[in-house]
Amino acid sequence: MLFAYSKGITSSGEIEWCCETNVLFKALSCDTVPHFTTLANFVSSRPEEIEAVFEQILLICDLKGIRERTLCD
C-alpha cells in the first residue's frame, strides 16, 4: 500500500492490477494478488495508522534531505 501510494496509485482496483502485472508490485506482494475489496477494507479500517506511517515517512525523508522528484529533475 505504501509503495502504491508513493506512486500516486490510490485505487484498490488499480493496486490489484499492479500486483498482477508490475514486477515491483509482484515482488513487494510476494507474488500474491490481493482482491481489491481486501485492499479497500484494509485501508478503510486503519485510517489513523496509515496516516501515522505516512507522517513518519515524510519526517524521515525531511530529516535526510530527501525531496520529491519532479518531471523536470
Residue 67 vs residue 27, higher pLDDT? 27
Residue 54 vs residue 34, higher pLDDT? 34
Q: Enumerate the domain spans of the chain.
A: 2-46
Q: Is the pLDDT of residue 71 over 50?
A: no
Place of cell 489513523: 48
Q: Is the pLDDT of residue 8 over 80?
A: yes
**Residue 25 burial (C-beta neighbours within 10 Å; 0-12, 13-18, 19+):** buried
The model carries a pTM of 0.78
d(CA 27, CA 59): 26
d(CA 73, CA 58): 20
